[in-house]
Amino acid sequence: MHIKCFLDAGKIYDAKVLAISPDVVLNIFNAFIQNVTSPSLASGYIVSSAVPHLVLNAFKNLAAASFTSGISFVQAQALKASAGSRLAAAGGANAAAAAPIKEEEPEPEEDVDMGDLFGGDY
């Protein structure tokens, strides 16, 4: 038996609808979750799908505070070490570009006579 179309709730559908794979369903579901999560993050109204993003942002804020204050915790130290190794690797490639740049000193401003614009004696 070969299905060409089927009837559901008074509507006729093509048989291609039955050939949807789980990957297609998951991609559509993820797109809808993003449509819910984005406004939640922007408005401050918390939904459960926004919680991982909020936790990650809180960790970033804690790590940044620990880098500037000198007080650290284990995860921040690991992050700082991995960032330091990436910066050191990139620093070797950009060493020639980091040559000192001579800054020009600004010229002193000259006193300009306004030609007795406001009347003279003050």
Q: What is the pLDDT of residue 15?
A: 80
Q: What is the pLDDT of residue 55?
A: 92
Q: What is the pLDDT of residues 97-111, one digit of tens each?
A: 555 666 777 777 776
Instruction: State the DSSP string of the chain.
Output: ----EEEETTEEEEGGGGG--HHHHHHHHHHHHHHHHHHHHHH----GGGHHHHHHHHHHHHHHHHHHHS---HHHHHHHHHHHHHHHHHHHHTTGGGPPPPPPPPPPPPP----STT-S--
Average pLDDT of 43-70?
Answer: 88
Q: Using the predicted structure, report yes or no on whether residue 26 has a pLDDT greater than 90.
A: yes
User: Which one is predicted more confidently, 3 or 26?
Assistant: 26
Q: What is the pLDDT of residues 74-96, one digit of tens each?
A: 888 888 888 777 767 766 555 55
